[in-house]
Chains A and B, each alone.
Chain A
Amino acid sequence: MNDQNLKEKYCYFLIWGTGLQYSQQIINQIRNDDNFDILKIKYYEVKNIKKLVKQIYSQDYAPLKHLKGKTKYLLQSEPRVLIIFVLNKNHQEKIFGKKKEFKHIECKYIKQFKGKIRDQFNPPPINGKKSHEHIIHASDSEYQVDHLLKLIGYKDGIKYLDKKPNSILPTPHHTRPFKNFSIKKVDIDSLYCYLYKKENNSIHKEKIELVNTPHYKYLNKDKNDYLKYIDTFGGFTLTDDHFIENYEKLKENFLYLSEKKPLNYIIAEEFQLNNYMILDGVHRACLLKQQGAKTIIMVIIKD
């Protein structure tokens, strides 16, 4: 579990089928909140919504019998949920609940944030009473995050989010671990990346030059391919925050290896003599190419 800083805890927001139409607005609000780092955005296709509701709420503080009536509306919802895993950098543990059986610990900030989202997107009040048909649920503890990750197929649970592929460099948790690497300038035209392709209902990866990626074309006013790409794979095979809004945010005042982030290198490996496959940082490489860079300082993994 994340013990490095008591103020930092892993957390998730789960948007039920009833709220999926607002998912982009909700993700934007999470992204724009400096207290959260989005780690993973994942759709989960639900085979049995009743079972999922039970599994989610079985980890809740309140006894399941109290939640049965409150979650009835979910049984009719779209059998798909969107889960946003975040690092909450403003964890404020507090005891809530008056009656003994409802007493529980949760983060005050997450509770407030969740409440704000519910006020905006829950169904409108009826006869002046707030709707309890919540479109969003949030975890109260890292134990619940661990449980949900395991439930949706990440057998390492919360350890998956906690992975540090390299102890010196800040690298996303899904990069493979490495201990031998070099940092050097690389010709920008020697960069490639993998792109997902969907053919005959199967998904495969294809090697493609940086300049031919939808990501690069997006910056050159040909936005359709990228929109289609994200629409097809965002939240499924692409679980980083690759949504347009985040790309636009990155684009604003983009400065590679800035004073604040001097070690956030683009990471690649050499797959052929002097040709490199980007493992992390395709968007940044595209931005640099568009800014006119001929070479990029990057990390080349050697093991």
Chain B
Amino acid sequence: MQYSQNLKLNDFFSKLEKENYTIVKLSDNFPNYFNGDDLDIFCENIDSFSQKILTIGNKYIKKNNCEVRIRQKNDTHYHIDFIFDKKLDLRFDLYNKLPSYKNLKLKNNLFGTILKNKTKKQQDNYFIYVPSSNEEMILRYVEFLEWFDKRPDKIKHLNFILDNTSNPITKEKFLIELHNYIKPSSKKTEPILPIIFQKIKKIFKL
């Protein structure tokens, strides 16, 4: 599969350094991406962040057969979709609050902590921001739990966690922080949790 050649993500992120944001579950391919990919971004000011994306987007609308579709699903979650030749090329999936998950509830203060503890990642001549390693693992863990029964490809998140917790100290630190941010689950989710925890136990050899 070939990377999309439509957007240069460097154009966007080199101008977003002043925003308080973090790209979660960042792909190793970044700044490359495939057609139809999405970028999950937590940001402090979702409107200001969107304005910057659209400002840069104007350049692409002017030159190419590009359309930008914006859906403000609610006050805390926006989609900004770049469409080329009527096909979704890239989605900026923006949040200024933790998304709600069905299978696991997280404490709301995790969102602020993720932004506070974000780390800089050097690109060519600018920085992007990503969550600290521990918080990145929490988000991937939640994502895996949310989708593992429907999307087999989400195993990649678990693999990421395993790769990053080979050191027992790191593993313990991650588990402590994870449990610190988990809220008791609702009745609806109860039946699924024992299965999940069994799987996790096995994987982590706990």
Contact = CB atoms under 8 A, between A and B. Distances in A.
- Whether chain B is bound by chain A comes out as yes
Nearest to A297: B61
Contacts of B54: 168-169, 183, 262-263
B51 interface: yes
Interface stretch (B35-43, B64-72, B107-115): B64-72
Contact of B68 (A167, A180, A183): A183
B58 interface: yes
Interface residues of A, number: 16
Interface residues of B, number: 18
A179 B71 contact: yes
Contacts of A274: none
A120 to B, nearest CB: 41
A297 B63 CA distance: 11
A100 B71 CA distance: 55
A91 B190 CA distance: 58
A184 B55 contact: no
B50 interface: yes
A263 to B, nearest CB: 6
B68 A263 contact: no
A187 to B, nearest CB: 13
Nearest to A259: B55
B201 interface: no
Interface in B181-196: none
A168 B51 contact: yes
A257 B62 CA distance: 11
Contacts of B50: 168
A257 B70 contact: no
A263 B78 CA distance: 17
Interface in A240-274: 257, 262-263
A184 B57 CA distance: 10
A181 interface: yes
A168 B51 CA distance: 6
A150 interface: no
Nearest to B66: A184
Given A167-B47, A168-B50, A262 B58 contact: yes
B62 A183 contact: no
A167 B72 contact: yes
Contact of B67 (A167, A179, A183, A263): A183
A207 interface: no
B71 A184 contact: no
B62 A297 contact: yes
A257 B47 CA distance: 18
Contacts of A166: 72
A54 interface: no
Contacts of A182: 67-70
Nearest to B71: A180
A257 B70 CA distance: 18
A257 B67 CA distance: 16
Given A167-B47, A168-B47, A297-B62, A181 B55 contact: no
Contact of A262 (B55, B69, B71, B78): B55
Contact of A297 (B55, B58, B71, B72): B58
Interface in B42-99: 47, 50-51, 54-55, 57-58, 61-62, 66-72, 75, 78
Interface of B: 47, 50-51, 54-55, 57-58, 61-62, 66-72, 75, 78
Report the 5 A-B pairs with minimum CB-CB distance, sorted nearest first. A179-B72, A184-B67, A262-B55, A182-B69, A183-B68
15 contacts: A167-B75, A168-B47, A168-B51, A168-B54, A168-B78, A179-B71, A179-B72, A180-B69, A180-B71, A182-B70, A183-B68, A183-B70, A184-B68, A263-B54, A302-B69
Given A167-B47, A183-B54, 7 more contacts: A168-B47, A182-B67, A182-B69, A184-B61, A184-B68, A263-B54, A302-B69
Interface of A: 166-169, 179-185, 257, 262-263, 297, 302
